[in-house]
Chain A
Amino acid sequence: MNYIIDAVYFLTAAIFIIGLKQMSSPVTAHRGIVWAGIAMVVASLATFGAPEISLEVSSINLQLMLVAIVAGSTVAYISAKRVAMTDMPQMIAMYNGMGGGAAAAIAAVELVKLSAGGESHGLTIQILAVLGAVIGAISFSGSAVAFAKLQGLMKKTLRLPLHQIMNIALFVAVCVFGYLVATSHTVSFDHVIIFFVLAIVLGVMLTLPIGGADMPVVISLFNALTGLAVAFEGFVLNNAAMIIAGTVVGSSGTLLTQLMAKAMNRPISNVLFSSFGSDSGVAAEEDIEGSMKEIQANDAAIMMAYGQKVIIVPGYGMAVAQAQHKLKEMGDLLEARGVDVKYAIHPVAGRMPGHMNVLLAEAGVDYDNILDLEEVNPEFPTADVALVIGANDVVNPVARTNPDSPIYGMPILDADKAQNVIVIKRGKGSGFSGIENHLFYADNTRMLYGDGKKAVGELIAGIKLLS
């Protein structure tokens, strides 16, 4: 029986890897996740046969376990089905946090067993359990904070006085108690409790000051951390599927995090340990030449309808306004008039890399027309109109021009190089980072104020009038 279960775990790990590989191409991606899903179900079912689990139905452990599985699955299923596509990032943060919490809880049970006089499986195992516990706990509470921020339940950035010093003190304290728990033969129950509380608080403290613009990177990082925590607990439980799947997620997640951080031109350390707007020098206003010039929807519609090429630059504002379907409708109308319509996606537009792609795909935009930064930037100078909808920092030319700006050096979409720029924006405020956007003041820029969906609706009406 045990051989069969081990074989199932082995195959599960293999299928996960194949599934992830398939997920890296749009053609096979769906197949990949379905395979991985089947493997997960089979592995879970096989686990009921594991020697640690009593199959007697009268066992309270088994009964409660079924309740836990049903409860957790149901809540997650309903929430994942119901949530709007725009809110997906925070849901991923939440599910990820649950995984991290589960890994930490596994370690907690093992350590509580030790404190109750259970037999130790050796120093290495104890150290791995503690490492997995720290990482899992940080991922758990950090993801919870990320969820609260993206869901709008919490202020975007929060810095306590002496935040950095408190973090260092917390980190040291976690290390001390982790060391005590990991290396003692008779683990103190109180130490275990203090250790977990400290680790959870550390996760909160690390995530509190991080601004919403950096959230994609942070969620991806926590995703990788959860993978690592799962792998460590896999060593503790001697479970090959957990070790391999966890490590694969840990390393692929780290690479994904690096790719994202690189796209923002900020090292990960920078994302974690300094936050936008924290040093007051940033807030100092520089002089901006020109003024914001308003345009009416009908005029904007005429500009686009009689152009040769229109490049649409969506950002988080489009997601908030749920304007993707209207945008697609407008794009179709323009294309019917012979206008070349392209969509330009910045790697970190939205709250997650690829967030905009998912939304545009939802609306049915052909992904041949969706271009990324390198592809689209040479096209801006030949575009008649760049329509910026709900994007801000990713089209801010100060990233090219002003070395003092916090976003200096970040690759941006060169929307300012188009003949005309139309910016759809809710109000006159600055972007997520709080940096003034010089594009809005440029001579060739016109502002179209209003809710994204409504504004695009007006544009559509304007274009229809012309035909």
Chain B
Amino acid sequence: MIEGLPALYIFMLSAFTGYEVISRVPVILHTPLMSGSNFVHGIVLVGAMIVMGSAEGPLQLTIGFIAVAMAAGNAVGGYVATVRMLEMFQHSPKKGAQ
């Protein structure tokens, strides 16, 4: 069980990590990066699956179904969108300094 102070530590350290990872990113990658982080929170799919797995009764099952479907959409859509954007950067490989 992750709770109490350790939970707070994880939260704090993750927050700093996120800040640090982004802090020196060139402007041209802002949109792909936003899209990429949009994909990363698609991990909510795992939680939606767990919740739906233990759902009881039609109401819980329905909400769980919505959760899983939306989470899957987040993950897949986020991935495809990011890859499509990043592929464009591969068409123009970096030339040597002019």
Residues of A whose CB lies within 8 Å of any CB of B are 9, 12, 16-17, 19-21, 23-27, 29-30, 32-34, 36-37, 40, 43-44, 47-48, 50, 52-54, 60-62, 64-65, 67-73, 75-77, 79-81, 83, 85, 88-89, 91-92, 94-96, 98-99, 101-103, 105-106, 108-110, 112-113, 116, 122, 124-125, 219-220, 223, 226-227, 230-231, 233-235, 237-256, 259-260, 345, 347, 352-355, 357-358, 361-362, 364-368, 370, 372
Residues of B whose CB lies within 8 Å of any CB of A are 1-3, 7, 10-11, 14-19, 21-57, 59-61, 63-92, 94-95, 98
A69 to B26 alpha-carbon distance, docked (Å): 35
User: Are B15 and A247 neighbours in the complex by a CB distance under 8 Å?
Assistant: yes
List the 10 closest A-B pairs by CB distance, nearest first: A72-B72, A53-B53, A76-B77, A251-B18, A105-B67, A80-B80, A247-B14, A99-B74, A72-B69, A354-B31
User: Which chain A residues border B81 with CB–CB below 8 Å?
Assistant: 80, 83, 88, 91-92, 95
Partner of A358, one of B32, B38, B66: B32
Known interface pairs A24-B24, A95-B77, A246-B43. Does A33 touch B36 (Cβ–Cβ under 8 Å)? Answer: yes
User: Which chain B residues border A73 with CB–CB below 8 Å?
Assistant: 72-73, 75-76
User: Are B27 and A226 neighbours in the complex by a CB distance under 8 Å?
Assistant: no
User: Are A23 and B36 neighbours in the complex by a CB distance under 8 Å?
Assistant: yes
A169 to B64 alpha-carbon distance, docked (Å): 30
- Scoring A60, A101, A106 by chain B CB atoms within 10 A of each residue's CB, the highest score goes to A106
User: Are A106 and B28 neighbours in the complex by a CB distance under 8 Å?
Assistant: no
User: Which chain A residues border B29 with CB–CB below 8 Å?
Assistant: 23-26, 29, 354
Partner of A248, one of B18, B23, B92: B18
> Could you show 9 A-B contacts with beta carbons less than 8 Å apart?
A21-B21, A32-B36, A43-B43, A88-B81, A92-B35, A99-B44, A101-B70, A223-B41, A361-B89
Closest to B45 in A: A44
Q: Tell me how far the C-beta of B97 lies from the nearest C-beta in chain A, rounded to whole angstroms.
A: 8
User: Which chain A residues border B49 with CB–CB below 8 Å?
Assistant: 44, 47-48, 50, 53, 65, 69
Known interface pairs A65-B52, A253-B34. Does A226 touch B14 (Cβ–Cβ under 8 Å)? Answer: no
User: Are A24 and B83 neighbours in the complex by a CB distance under 8 Å?
Assistant: no
User: Are A372 and B73 neighbours in the complex by a CB distance under 8 Å?
Assistant: no
Known interface pairs A95-B81, A227-B41, A238-B2. Does A69 touch B28 (Cβ–Cβ under 8 Å)? Answer: no
Known interface pairs A52-B50, A243-B11. Does A249 touch B27 (Cβ–Cβ under 8 Å)? Answer: no
A125 to B7 alpha-carbon distance, docked (Å): 11
Q: A101-B70, A255-B18 are in contact. List 16 more A-B contacts (CB 8 A).
A: A19-B36, A21-B21, A29-B89, A50-B53, A81-B80, A88-B31, A96-B38, A106-B44, A108-B67, A223-B38, A244-B14, A247-B14, A249-B38, A253-B34, A254-B19, A361-B92
A-B pair number, CB within 8 angstroms:
390
Known interface pairs A44-B49, A91-B81, A96-B38. Does A366 touch B95 (Cβ–Cβ under 8 Å)? Answer: yes
Known interface pairs A102-B48, A109-B64. Does A76 touch B23 (Cβ–Cβ under 8 Å)? Answer: no
Q: Tell me how far the C-beta of A35 lies from the nearest C-beta in chain B, rounded to whole angstroms.
A: 11
A30 to B94 alpha-carbon distance, docked (Å): 14
Partner of B41, one of A62, A68, A249: A249
User: Which chain B residues border A366 with CB–CB below 8 Å?
Assistant: 92, 95
Known interface pairs A72-B70, A75-B73, A364-B91. Does A256 touch B32 (Cβ–Cβ under 8 Å)? Answer: no
Looking at chain A's contact residues, the main secondary structure is helix
User: Are A43 and B23 neighbours in the complex by a CB distance under 8 Å?
Assistant: no
Known interface pairs A50-B50, A237-B47. Does A95 touch B16 (Cβ–Cβ under 8 Å)? Answer: no
User: Are B70 and A102 neighbours in the complex by a CB distance under 8 Å?
Assistant: yes
User: Are A239 and B46 neighbours in the complex by a CB distance under 8 Å?
Assistant: yes
User: Are B40 and A19 neighbours in the complex by a CB distance under 8 Å?
Assistant: yes
User: Are B37 and A249 neighbours in the complex by a CB distance under 8 Å?
Assistant: yes
User: Are A30 and B90 neighbours in the complex by a CB distance under 8 Å?
Assistant: yes
User: Are B60 and A109 neighbours in the complex by a CB distance under 8 Å?
Assistant: yes
User: Which chain A residues border B75 with CB–CB below 8 Å?
Assistant: 40, 44, 73, 76
Known interface pairs A95-B38, A98-B71. Does A248 touch B14 (Cβ–Cβ under 8 Å)? Answer: yes
A371 to B83 alpha-carbon distance, docked (Å): 23
Closest to A5 in B: B46
Known interface pairs A53-B53, A92-B35. Does A256 touch B65 (Cβ–Cβ under 8 Å)? Answer: no
Closest to A368 in B: B95
User: Which chain A residues border B64 with CB–CB below 8 Å?
Assistant: 61, 64-65, 105, 109
A234 to B46 alpha-carbon distance, docked (Å): 9
User: Are A230 and B19 neighbours in the complex by a CB distance under 8 Å?
Assistant: no
Known interface pairs A24-B24, A88-B31. Does A243 touch B41 (Cβ–Cβ under 8 Å)? Answer: no
